[in-house]
Structure 1
Amino acid sequence: MTITRRGVLQTGLAAAAAAAAPGALRAEGFSFQESPMLAERVKKGLLPPVIDRLPTTPLIADFASRKRTVGRYGGEIRTLIAKTRDLRYMSANGYTRVVGYDETLTLQPDLAQSYEEQDNRVFTFTLRRGHRWSNGQPFTSEDFRYYWEDVALNKDLSPSGPPELFMVDGKLPRFEIIDDLRIRYSWDAPNPRFLPALAMPRPLRLFSPSQYLRAFHKRYAEKGVIEKAIAAAKLRNWAALHNRLDDDYEYSNPDAPVLTPWRLVTPPPANRMVFERNPYFHRLDPEGRQLPYVDKVLVDVASPGLFPAKSNAGEVDLQARGLSMNDVPVLKEGEAAQNYRTLLWPYARGSIYTLYPNLNTADPEWRRLNRDIRYRRALSAAIDRRILNNALLFGLGVEGNNTVLATSPLYSDVFRTDNAAYDPELANGLLDEVGLTGRDSSGFRTLPDGRTLEIVVEVDGESTDIVDALQLITEFWRDVGVKLFMKPQDRGILRQRSFSGQTVMVAATGLDNAVPTAMMPPTELAPVRQEHYSWPKWGQWFETQGHNGEEPDTPGGKRLLALYKEWLSATEDTRNAAIWREMLALHAENQWTIGTIAGELQPVVVNKRLRNVPEKALFSWEPTSLMGVYRIDEYYYAAGA
């Protein structure tokens, strides 16, 4: 039996805290420190002193090995989003997890003081004694029980039951409350996805603020009181009310307590949403200052097209999302006058511009074509990636397939290059071989039923850089007789069309996590997620355990699913790595997604006074959670103008 234990970082005060009995830090007279903003509230009797707001064993940030400097309190960080729903990026950037990644992408306890894992089957978490929600209520195992029993297993609140990630061989875990600080999840078979899922940008949920939500749950609330609340909110029933208020990700409910560095104090929607420091945040710097350093984060809503101009005008202090390499010249122009700098972080993405032929599309003729490997290879061979690279990435990109980056231990050159060379002669030959030999009056190829071979490529209308790439691909494909019609639209509508089989092809970004290790689930490579544009109905079938969607019915789809299931039960890292590499090789061979260029750089606009921001770091949604793993709560403003 393998037992893995993870605990608090054993450095400095953290070592003393981990070894001490409850209350020992207080008994030793350690000088906890807090921001002047909260000190004023303590003085007025609006808050307890910091010593009474922190857990007995707080998380002490490791500054030494990460070359961070101890900071000072105060200031505001201004940033931009395109719409109110994008407040979820604050959850990703705030990155507070039961267990989360550090900057080396190693799992570490965070909200948990420690955890134990036995053979990927039994997971025991120990919470921090005295830890509190932002409203001062205790954070204990009761919050885990409430979520599991009263939310996840409640048919009114969760009609489909707990998330699929809890299922192993069709069975849910045994859930145990050991005491007020310890919780255990047990399966009969391994669940290697469990811990990585807790570290995701949108983590697998384990808890809810029970004391706050009981007032809106029919099991606990007085009938008259909850009916008044339902009527006031203009909702149809108690479940709709509870689900609206139980907000652990979207930040749509300012009243909901949080465990993150900052809490929302402005009811959305608004042109500016204000986040203030969480008085009960559980992390300290090495000298005992309660984090975060910065008092407030100001989130302004603006048109995405204005992000570069607003950054250039000095209207942001920290901005990455919404900026691209095309904006670098504009951003560089404003640096001197507006007191900011533009960092360039490598984007950990498999391909910036990726085409997804829908193998589940409803149109039978397009479905037949999309499933023909010769057709997919022809479309790939017809793309001149060198021109794309020079035109859109200043020649700095890496041309080839949608696959992992060279910095991943799973990388191989062949995964990037196989079937990714520009060869229009090969493309024409393959298209002829498929039977697309007819031509219309404009010279475009025709389908067997006489329709012009016009591929409608649907794209998120906000992804202007992908739209630019499609304009070039339109020219490349015209040269081999293929017509491309671009259809920009709202992202939500695009996903719904994909889920229902209405899309023929989608253009989007490639692998979110292109720097995986063998212990990370190969989810993006297998037909297990409805959101994957190449096989939405296969993914739906897997997610709903066969109740909806379509079972994979091609040899390639079946093999990917079999490999994914084998990864779930593998017990050795060497076998996990071998499974990853076979799946990556299959993707390069089959072109289920048609990649173009990787290696883009993400501009990060940073106020020149803001410290502890890495000069160079990987940027991605997964696994870095945008900037989350770099701990924005440790950023601070240096003194001076």
Structure 2
Amino acid sequence: MRQRALMTILLGASMLSAPAMAQTLRVALASEPTAVDPHYHDLTPNNALALHIFDHLVRQDEKQALQPGLATSWENDGKNRWTFKLRQGVKFSNGQPFGAQDVVFTFCRTLKNETKVSGSFADITGNFAKVETPDANTLVIETKTPEPLLPTLLSGLPILSASIVQHGDITYDVEKNCGVTGPWPTVNNFNDGSMAIGTGPYKLKSYVRGSAIELERNPNYWGEAEPWASVRFLPVTNAGPRLAGLLAGDYDVIESPAARDLNRIKGDKRFAHVITPSTRIIYFQLDVDRDDSPFVKAPDGKNPLKDARVRKAMSLAIDRDAIAKRIMDGAAEPAYQFLPTGMFGTLANPAKIPYDPTAAKKLLAEAGYPNGFQLTLSATNDRYINDSQITQAVAQYLTQIGIKAEVDAMTRAIYFPRRAKKEFSVALGGWGSNTGEASSFLRQWPPTPNEDKTIGGSNYGGYKNDEYDKVIRAAISTLDDKKREELLQQAMTIVLADGAFIPLHFESGIWAGKADLKITGRADQFTLAMSVKPAK
């Protein structure tokens, strides 16, 4: 009896000592992922969710430093050829072994993805001239043009299992369907869980849009087991209910609490918070291409946004300091270029854009619009921190200089597909640099798209500058760091002067949670269960 009682006590003690291993982590999201499909849309909430289920060849830590992932090492030959050595002994969540053909299949799928939004991830693989697999654990990629940042770019590409489709020998022969004999996966195949097969620390249990995403620990995971047996992500787009749910004990962690509410969290010993500077630039993209832009109405019947003086006037009309201090409650920094100063390829001393409505009015008059014109600002209301409030503030600033601005804010599920179809005249955007250098924004948004869509994939405003295109194309294919940095600075100077993109501010990532949890903030603003650990 004494032995049985002792065993009962020891069993109880062991259960109390490791409650986290059987616990569900409940996370309230400010912005819900739009799909489980990791290639559907290159969007921060989607990419963050994908990291739970899928691995990448290369990982980025919380400071965006590169770490080995499914590839243990990589090297470049000084030109167009990269060799990756793959991790051995890895299995997918369905028990299938991971190998080089899964990576080749993944590359092919990015180019055969008919249900994707915009050019998501095809901008990476579109530069591949050849992909070879000398053996199951070696991958050799030859690019069409030199790609100095290929490991960094691949750190954003989730790897799929070739077992989810019917196929013969998988080869990187896109014209011959890469050896795939059945239908290519669609977004619905991932959302229903049937093809959500990865090598990540978790596997999908259920995805109910607008309700919850449930994950469970992946028993086949090759790395160290996560402390949470299950994770439940709940979309709560309003900051008030997110905070109320945390205070009531309904959530363990919330993302993006309103900065104005941080004092309330600080005053309660039950909770803690983390603020982490990010590389995410919030900006407006202007339609500078079409004569007949859909949401611009001017007395002369033209599109005023095509005039650089009008674009400069709009930028001068915005009080960035006020937005950062009042709307963002100090959890943002005014932006005068497209990546925080000091990072690779940025201007050392960018000219501050002053708040000068008088100068703005003068420029409008010079451009032929002394009485302004009508304009609609299009924006999300559930994607970026205070996105609709920011847009309303900018509309008021523009109205003060004579531009009669209205706001059309909508859910991101509607907004992003419409923006990709170029349905807006002035569109709010947010972009976090996944490379840690200026090329991330400068190659994606301003360039004239090339045939393979490896650059300019998000140029929805039709911006075109031949000098810029020449400089940015040279920059992204230059392996010499010093020369590439100089070229990126030239490109930054050109696009800032043209004003087709109006920078506003850089967001900070904010998370709050229970005090017995340790939350590690990330520069990429990803909300990850892997970044939450028991404090003790």
Structure 2 length as normaliser, TM-score? 0.78
Is residue 279 of structure 1 aligned with residue 213 of structure 2? no
- Deviation at 1:563? 1.6
Match of 1:473 in 2: 394
- Counterpart CA distance in 1 for 2:120 and 2:237 is 38
- Deviation at 1:620? 2.8
Contact 1:79 1:319 in 2 (8 A): yes
Match of 1:450 in 2: none
Is residue 360 of structure 1 aligned with residue 360 of structure 2? no
Give the letter aligned to residue 389 of structure 1: A
- Counterpart CA distance in 2 for 1:550 and 1:357 is 8
- Counterpart CA distance in 1 for 2:112 and 2:398 is 52
- Deviation at 1:193? 4.3
Give the letter aligned to residue 167 of structure 1: G
Summarize the alignment of residues 82-93 of structure 1 with structure 2, pairs less than 5 Å apart.
83=32, 85=34, 88=46, 89-92=48-51
- Counterpart CA distance in 1 for 2:374 and 2:413 is 24
Match of 1:243 in 2: 186
- Counterpart CA distance in 2 for 1:551 and 1:633 is 37
Match of 1:80 in 2: 28
In structure 1, the residue corresponding to 2:322 is in which secondary structure? helix
Match of 2:161 in 1: 209
Contact 2:213 2:234 in 1 (8 A): yes
Match of 1:5 in 2: none
Contact 1:143 1:210 in 2 (8 A): yes
Contact 2:85 2:138 in 1 (8 A): yes
- Counterpart CA distance in 1 for 2:461 and 2:276 is 40
- Deviation at 1:459? 0.9
- Counterpart CA distance in 2 for 1:590 and 1:548 is 17
Is residue 560 of structure 1 aligned with residue 468 of structure 2? yes
- Decide which of 231, 256, 266 is 2:196's aligned counterpart: 256
Match of 1:44 in 2: none
- Counterpart CA distance in 2 for 1:458 and 1:278 is 41
- Counterpart CA distance in 1 for 2:416 and 2:210 is 26
Is residue 376 of structure 1 aligned with residue 311 of structure 2? yes
Higher deviation after alignment, 116-125 or 86-95: 86-95
Contact 1:459 1:487 in 2 (8 A): yes
- Counterpart CA distance in 1 for 2:152 and 2:248 is 39
Is residue 489 of structure 1 aligned with residue 423 of structure 2? no
Give the letter aligned to residue 111 of structure 1: L
- Counterpart CA distance in 2 for 1:246 and 1:218 is 21
Structure 1 residues 367 and 106, CA gap change in structure 2 (3 angstroms): farther
Contact 1:97 1:199 in 2 (8 A): yes
Contact 1:400 1:416 in 2 (8 A): no
- Counterpart CA distance in 2 for 1:303 and 1:601 is 17
- Deviation at 1:93? 5.8
Match of 1:199 in 2: 155
In structure 2, the residue corresponding to 1:307 is in which secondary structure? helix
- Deviation at 1:110? 1.1
Structure 1 residues 155 and 457, CA gap change in structure 2 (3 angstroms): closer
- Deviation at 1:635? 4.2
- Structure whose alpha-carbon radius of gyration is higher: 1
In structure 1, the residue corresponding to 2:139 is in which secondary structure? strand
State the Cα deviation string for residues 437-477 of structure 1 (Å, max 9, x = none).
3xxxxxxx25xxxxxx1111111132572322233333332
- Counterpart CA distance in 2 for 1:268 and 1:508 is 27
- Counterpart CA distance in 2 for 1:590 and 1:341 is 43
- Deviation at 1:195? 1.9
Match of 1:190 in 2: 146
Match of 1:461 in 2: 381
Contact 2:123 2:452 in 1 (8 A): no
Give the letter aligned to residue 620 of structure 1: D
Give the letter aligned to residue 485 of structure 2: A
Taking only the aligned residue pairs, the percentage that are identical comes to 16
Unaligned stretches of 5+ residues in structure 2 = 1-10, 37-45, 171-180
Contact 1:355 1:594 in 2 (8 A): yes
State the Cα deviation string for residues 10-43 of structure 1 (Å, max 9, x = none).
xxxxxxxxxxxxxxxxxxxxxxxxxx9xxx9xxx
Structure 1 residues 568 and 544, CA gap change in structure 2 (3 angstroms): closer
- Decide which of 496, 501, 509 is 1:593's aligned counterpart: 501
Structure 1 length as normaliser, TM-score? 0.67
Match of 1:575 in 2: 483
Contact 1:540 1:548 in 2 (8 A): no
- Deviation at 1:484? 0.9
Structure 1 residues 72 and 253, CA gap change in structure 2 (3 angstroms): closer
Is residue 428 of structure 1 aligned with residue 361 of structure 2? yes
- Counterpart CA distance in 2 for 1:299 and 1:379 is 39
Structure 1 residues 403 and 367, CA gap change in structure 2 (3 angstroms): farther
Greater strand fraction, Structure 1 or Structure 2: 2
Is residue 636 of structure 1 aligned with residue 533 of structure 2? yes
Is residue 605 of structure 1 aligned with residue 525 of structure 2? no
- Deviation at 1:244? 4.7
Match of 2:64 in 1: 105
Contact 2:53 2:203 in 1 (8 A): no
Structure 1 residues 330 and 543, CA gap change in structure 2 (3 angstroms): farther
Give the letter aligned to residue 300 of structure 1: L
Contact 2:124 2:454 in 1 (8 A): no
